[in-house]
Structure 1
Amino acid sequence: MRAIQITEFGGPEVLNPADLPDPVAGPGDLLIEVERAGVNYADTHRVEDTYLSSSALPLVPGSEVAGRTPDGRRVVAMVESGGYAERAAAPAGMAVDIPDGVDAGTALALLVQGSTAWVLLRRNVHLAEGESVAVHAGAGGVGSIAVQLAKAFGAGRVIATAGSSEKRELALELGADAAVDSRAEDMTAALVEANEGRRVDAVLDMTGGRVTDESLRALAPFGRLAFYGMASRKAPKPVQLPNLMRHSATVSGMWLPHAFQLPGDVVGRAMAEMFELVRTGRLRAVVGGEYPLADARRAHEDLRSRTTQGKLVLDPTREA
């Protein structure tokens, strides 16, 4: 089968097409003919070996696929690795059936980006009706869905940040009440101004560096910041515990694989709720780019440049 393999760690340049044996489905696994494979920011860290969990070489990147099983089921599934390929094996417990009328790109956007946004809002910041929430990278994969979910969950005011006028316009189109330039010199002041002079109740942050530090200072008493990524590749300053008490603030982290371990099938419930929102027209997944499988390197370059919008996917059925 055709796949993308890395034999050394590095940047997008280490992503190379390769012909590899088909995966073998073990006990409890599903063999999936891949229709689309998702590209995530976490993949860029895996390729560098800077992710939360280390990787072994050689590696076929990719943690999510959408396609068909041999018995005809259409599913979207998480995989440990191996998603950038024509075929993948996934644990049955990590697969969700795709409803009729939902395309593969939308299903992929909901599985990782959508579930991330849902868990951040429901479990990390416990967004209450009428509260304000700031969503960094509001036109990105997670952000574009988080903006819409926050409105659907009853947020009083949703503030999105983005680095271009086109991205800010998209965030407003998706339901944000205000859009802030992510390059603002003082993010604290920018968020407070966008919230009509009030500090914000919640922040969803995947940027890192000074943006995280300044967002924390923008929190209202009993405000919550949920940290789920570091796109800037710059760590924020260590959180000082006395400052949390001084401002009655809460800072949490979130890594989506842990959500699959929660009792009560949390991810399954999140997917069911989001599929229903899609069906009723209250949620739209933004698929910002489809690339032939062989162009995985270009997809990573575009993602790392932070010029893309929404979800990026690879198409193994398409020639370069």
Structure 2
Amino acid sequence: MKAIIVERQNGANALKLTDLPAPEPAAGELRVRVRAAAVNRTDIVTREGRSGYAVNPILGVEIAGIVEQAEEGSGFAPGDRVMGLVNGGGYAEYAVMPADRAMKIPAGYTFEQAAAVPEVFLTAYQTLYWIGRLQPGESVLIHAGASGVGTAAIQLAKTLSRAKVIVTAGSREKLDFCENLGADVLINYKEQSFEKEVLAATDGQGVDLILDFVGADYWDKNLESVKKEGRWVLIGILGGIQVEQVNLFALMSKCVQLTGTLLTPRSDDYKARLTADFVREVMPHMAAGEIKPIVDTVFPLEEAMSAQTHMEENRNIGKIVLSVAE
């Protein structure tokens, strides 16, 4: 089968298209003929050798395709259209997926749309609800609102909680897109001080919840933006990992709950439980067209490096997808 592996950490030829044997499913797994795979920040971190947990030589953690092999009693059969998280191996013509992480693709979805669902929507759902405990009518600040996770989080927060959604993004185009998805307050972080805008939009109280993709650069501003006894979930480090002059007392005095998380290194059991909850709580809204995946650009598999570069340059609105097969 055709597959993408890491040749070197950086550069135009960092990723290599090669031929490898198709994987054999273990007990409890499906073998899937991959039709599309999506690109994620974790793929870039893995390529650069910084993840510390990648064991599969083939990149890619989410796919959409057609079941080729399935165990009896798995709930799936050959020919089923599925999407879901994989333990690496997504940038390939075939992949194995734990059956308890597979989700049936909603009617009318293309494989490219389906591939844009698992990682970002499960991450957004996890951070908003499992960790962030967002309640109906609360306020949430979503940084990188036009990113894959951002566009998912906006829709989830509005549809499931009728929350007040405040987003940051770096261009008018991205902010307009967020507004069309339901965002209530739009902040251009390149032109505005987002902490001042957040306080103005919340009567000086701050938000109940922050989804933080940025990390170090936003530490002080996020601390100003979060409400007393609010929640702050760190899910990205686009702005660095080292915070200078941290005032822990300021964090303590506001009684803020700060949680760091990543989805990829979570256990198989955690991902299975999260998937089951997502299918129950969110998939009906997707089937009804109330929540939708946002696809920015589709690249052919052999242009995986160009797809990752597109993400590194922050040019995307929504998901970047690789088309693996027609």
TM-score (norm 2): 0.89
Question: How many residues are aligned here?
Answer: 316
Match of 1:267 among 264, 272, 275: 275
Unaligned runs of 5+ in 1: none
Structure 1 runs (4+) deviating above 6 angstroms are: none
Q: Supply the distance in 2 between the matched residues of 1:91 and 1:260 (Cα, whole angstroms).
A: 8
Match of 1:300 among 286, 301, 308: 308
Distance 1:259 1:200, change over 3 A: farther
1:300 match: secondary structure: helix
Equivalence for 1:62: 60
Match of 1:192 among 182, 191, 199: 199
Distance 1:236 1:194, change over 3 A: farther
Match of 2:287 among 276, 279, 282: 279
Report the CA distance between 1:126 and its aligned residue: 0.9
TM-score (norm 1): 0.91
Report the CA distance between 1:62 and its aligned residue: 0.5
Question: Larger deviation: 305-314 or 102-111?
Answer: 102-111
Deviations 1:37-72 (A, max 9, x none): 111111110100112x3445x821101111011211
Distance 1:216 1:174, change over 3 A: same
Q: Determine whether 1:45 maps to 2:50.
A: no
2:42 match: secondary structure: helix
Unaligned runs of 5+ in 2: 69-77
Q: Supply the distance in 1 between the matched residues of 2:311 and 2:271 (Cα, whole angstroms).
A: 33
Equivalence for 2:9: 9
2:284 match: secondary structure: helix
Equivalence for 1:111: 118
Amino acid at match of 2:89: G
Q: Supply the distance in 1 between the matched residues of 2:152 and 2:268 (Cα, whole angstroms).
A: 19
Which residues in structure 2 correspond to 1:63-212 (within 5 Å)? 63-70=61-68, 71-184=78-191, 186-195=193-202, 197-212=204-219
Question: Larger deviation: 274-283 or 65-74?
Answer: 274-283
Identity, in percent, stands at: 32
Report the CA distance between 1:204 and its aligned residue: 0.4
Question: Larger deviation: 91-100 or 292-301?
Answer: 91-100
1:221 match: secondary structure: strand
Q: Supply the distance in 1 between the matched residues of 2:262 and 2:64 (Cα, whole angstroms).
A: 21
Q: Supply the distance in 2 between the matched residues of 1:237 and 1:102 (Cα, whole angstroms).
A: 46
Deviations 1:252-289 (A, max 9, x none): 12222437534982322213322211222321211111
Contact kept in structure 2, 1:7 and 1:59, CA below 8 Å: no
Question: Larger deviation: 200-209 or 1-10?
Answer: 1-10
